Amino acid sequence: MSAPLYAADGLFGRLVAAAPEPWRAYTEHRFVRGLADGSLPRAAFQRYLVQDYLFLVHFCRAYGLAIYKTVELADMRAFQATLDAILNHEMALHVAYSAEWGLSERDLVETPEHPANLAYTRFVLDCGLAGDLLDLAVALSPCVVGYAVIGRALAASAGPTTPYRKWIDAYAGAEYAEVAQGAVGLLDRLWARRGGPARMAELARLFARACELERDFWQMGLTG
């Protein structure tokens, strides 16, 4: 049996419990369900994946900002590990998928950003610029951990003929689970050093907003 991605009494588990509706709307969105049963239109997946490539470019910037904002070497290494996973592995998956449709990496880079993409990525960057390292880590966490949660759920429920199996397997696998668990552990370490009861309400607000922006990103894939 796979190890749990997060504990209910850790910071990530407490954030999920504080924002159950935004979390559910994100992780159980109709776009996600369409990946499992194969009903998601190919055009919707292509639209999502091109925008997600651009999204990951800005998430790399956010992880670079996180590295800059800490002097703790263990935290630097943890953020760098996720940055490497995004920059050198996850983005490569997007490029490989898009090549199947005749799109080059340059085509991806030159695609205009959708407003839903702008809203989400700039929200995260603003959390890092205006807040501290814990604010930034919380804003990043629904993406990095949520995709592992979604991947596991889809791997257990996906039909045998879904054309999105490769995408599902990438986020359901042990390698990505390790990235997500590392992010969860980092959140707990930052909470121990920088958190406290007075911060929980604001952190839960940031987490909920990030989940809502993830939901809107899925919706963008559906409706364009």
What number is the average pLDDT over the span 134-142?
98
Task: Determine which one of 90, 143, 211, 212 is catalytic.
Answer: 143
Query: Region 202-221: what's the mean pLDDT?
Result: 98
**Is 202 assigned a catalytic role?**
no
CB 139 within 8 A of CB 123: yes
Which amino acid is residue 133, in one-letter code? L
Q: Mean pLDDT in the chain?
A: 95
With contact defined as beta carbons under 8 Å apart, do 169 and 155 qualify? yes
pLDDT digits (tens, 9 = 90+) for 90-121: 999 999 989 988 999 999 999 999 999 999 99
The whole-number average pLDDT for the span 196-221 is 97
Q: Catalytic one among 90, 211, 212, 214? A: 214
pLDDT at residue 1, rounded to an integer: 62
The domain spans of the chain are 20-223
Q: Which residues of 51-83 are buried (b: 16+ CB within 10 A; e: fewer)?
A: bbbbbbbbbbebbebbeebbeeeebeebbeebb
Q: What pLDDT score was predicted for residue 160? A: 84
**Would you tell me which CATH number, out of the four given (3.30.1600.10, 3.10.129.10, 3.40.50.180, 1.20.910.10), belongs to the domain 20-223?**
1.20.910.10
* Active-site residue flag, 127: no
CA pair distance 50, 110, nearest whole angstrom: 10
